[in-house]
Amino acid sequence: MTRTAFAPAMLAAALLAGTALVPGAVLAAEIKIAMNGVDDPQTNAEAAFARGFAQALEGSDFTASIFPSGTLGSEQERFDQVAQGLVEVNLATVSTAFGMSPLLRGVLLPFMFESNDEFDAIVAQTELLDEMNEPLLPNGVRLAGFNYIGMPIGIHNTEVPVTTMADLEGIRFRALNAEQLEYIEALGANGTIVAWSEVANAIQTGIADGYFNPPNSAIRTGHTEFLKHFTQANISPSTRAVLISEDWYASLSDEERATIDAAIEAGIEANRAWIEEWSGIVTERHREAGVTLSELAPGERDKMAEATRPTWDEIMTAEDLQAYLDALAQVRAQ
Q: Is residue 2 part of a domain?
A: no
CA distance 234 to 251: 40
Same domain? 145 vs 161: no
DSSP 2: B
Backbone angles phi, psi at 101, to 5 degrees: -135, 85
The answer to whether residue 205 is domain-embedded is yes
How far apart, in whole angstroms, are the C-alpha atoms of residue 331 and residue 113? Answer: 11
Average pLDDT over residues 179-201: 96
Largest CA-CA distance found in the chain, in angstroms, rounded: 66
Q: What is the crossing angle of helices 254-279 and 45-56, to 10°?
A: 140
Q: What is the mean pLDDT of residues 172-191?
A: 96
CA distance 252 to 259: 10
Return the pLDDT at 12.
Answer: 46
Higher pLDDT, 67 or 3: 67
The predicted-structure confidence for 15-52, as pLDDT tens digits, reads as follows: 444 444 344 444 448 999 999 999 999 889 999 999 99
Measured distance between the N- and C-terminal CA atoms of the chain, rounded to whole angstroms: 42
Q: Examine residue 186 and state whether it is found in any structural domain, yes or no.
A: yes
Mean pLDDT for the stretch of residues 217-239? 96
Query: What's the domain count of the chain?
Result: 2
The residue range of the domain holding 134 is 8-150+238-279
pLDDT digits (tens, 9 = 90+) for 48-66: 999 999 999 999 999 999 9
Residues 266 and 304 placed together within one structural domain of the fold: no
On whether both 292 and 225 belong to a single domain, the answer is: yes
Confidence (pTM)? 0.89
What pLDDT is attached to residue 312?
A: 98
3 within some domain: no
Q: Residue 1: what pLDDT?
A: 61
* 87 shares its domain with 76: yes
Residues 55 and 13 occupy one common structural domain: yes
What is the pLDDT, as a whole number, of residue 27? 45
Which CATH number do you get for residue 88? 3.40.190.170
Whether 178 maps to a domain, the answer reads yes
Q: What is the CA radius of gyration of the chain?
A: 20
